[in-house]
């Protein structure tokens, strides 16, 4: 019983970290970036809350699917092809996001802020330009209707089935949503803060953030490729999902901290140059 309790506690922590990691996905951050920019000019009070509303809409779909799957398929185990296909799609998307965001950093004019790039936001077209809280929630919900997210919700349902069923699936979905809420909510506030400054400080910080996220996308994709192609790497990573997730979060967090430190030091550097 104690071992079962320890396993469940580890799963809860792992799901929360996965939520944080999912929230730092470049596609998420690019869409939150776009929503924040759009609303800062049209509905400024909403701008800083775009990341929070987006993650709530996204999480609502994940929770609903996880609970429904747990109710309809008790003790169901996701087939291996589902997990492999989800991993392959994630790798392709991460590679693309890494390349386009690094290109955005190096191609943006020095006097302009770097705008993060994403794929899904473009597919949504005009829906991604909304100034209504319900519209931002809807954008987040539509983002969840993707193969990789749906396979993750199915995994929550299957995992919860081993520990008690739909109630635990609800808990896993809520923890995942909380992780996203922390990451996307912080990003929405941060982007809103930078855009309100719109000075050398903001431009410098946006470049650091773009470099961090672009490089991190390529790094996670490379690790995924190694897991799929090299049995030794796959065997080594077995049981280390929490450590890998925390490592990704540490790199992303370091990028945010570095961006903030550079932002704070930029005014002093400008004063020194003007003397």
More confident call, 25 vs 275:
25
The whole-number pLDDT of residue 158 equals: 76
Contact (CB, 8 A) for 67 and 166: yes
The whole-number pLDDT of residue 269 equals: 44
**Alpha carbon distances (Å) from 237 to 9, 82, 91, 240, 243:** 20, 19, 17, 5, 9
More confident call, 272 vs 17:
17
Residues 147-168: tens digit of each pLDDT:
777 777 877 877 776 777 778 8
The whole-number pLDDT of residue 56 equals: 92
Residue-wise DSSP of 203-218: HHHHHHHHHHHHHHHH
Residues 76-114: tens digit of each pLDDT:
555 666 666 667 777 777 787 788 878 888 888 877 777
The whole-number pLDDT of residue 6 equals: 57
Mean per-residue pLDDT for 236-262?
67
H or E, element range at 238: none
Report the distance separating Cα 85 and Cα 177, nearest Å: 23
- Nearest Cα to 70, choosing from 7, 2, 164? 164
> 1-10, 52-61, 134-143: which has the minimum mean pLDDT?
1-10
Tokens (6 digits) for 227? 């897991």
> 68-82, 185-199, 200-214: which has the minimum mean pLDDT?
68-82
Domain that holds residue 9: 2-274
Q: Is 52's pLDDT higher than 80?
A: yes
Residues 171-195: tens digit of each pLDDT:
888 999 998 888 888 878 877 777 7
Q: If you search the block for the tokens 């169901």, which residue do you land on?
A: 76
Q: Is 273's pLDDT higher than 60?
A: no
| Residue 60 confidence class, pLDDT cut points 50, 70, 90 | very high
Number of domains forming the structure of the chain: 1
């Amino acid at each position: 019983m104690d071992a079962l309790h320890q396993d469940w506690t580890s799963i809860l922590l792992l799901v929360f970290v996965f939520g944080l990691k999912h929230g730092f996905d470049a596609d998420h951050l690019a869409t939150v970036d776009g929503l924040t920019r759009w609303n800062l000019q049209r509905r400024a009070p909403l701008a800083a809350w775009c990341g929070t509303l987006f993650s709530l809409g996204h999480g609502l779909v994940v929770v609903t699917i996880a609970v429904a799957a747990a109710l309809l398929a008790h003790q169901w185990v996701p087939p291996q092809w589902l997990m492999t296909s989800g991993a392959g799609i994630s790798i392709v998307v991460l590679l693309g996001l890494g390349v386009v965001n690094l290109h955005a950093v190096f191609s943006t004019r020095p006097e302009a802020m770097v705008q993060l790039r994403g794929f899904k936001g473009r597919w949504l077209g005009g829906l991604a330009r909304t100034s209504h809280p319900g519209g931002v929630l809807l954008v987040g919900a539509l983002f969840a209707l993707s193969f990789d997210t749906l396979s993750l919700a199915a995994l929550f349902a299957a995992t919860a089935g081993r520990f008690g069923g739909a109630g635990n699936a609800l808990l896993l979905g809520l923890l995942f949503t909380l992780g996203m809420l922390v990451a996307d909510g912080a990003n929405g506030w941060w982007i809103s803060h930078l855009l309100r400054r719109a000075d050398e400080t903001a431009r410098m910080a946006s470049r650091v953030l773009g470099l961090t996220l672009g490089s991190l996308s390529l790094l996670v994709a490379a690790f995924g490729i190694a897991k799929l192609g090299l049995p030794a790497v796959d065997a080594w990573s077995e049981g280390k999902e929490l450590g890998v997730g925390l490592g990704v979060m540490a790199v992303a967090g370091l990028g945010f901290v570095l961006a903030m430190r550079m932002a704070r030091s930029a005014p002093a550097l400008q004063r020194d140059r003007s003397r």
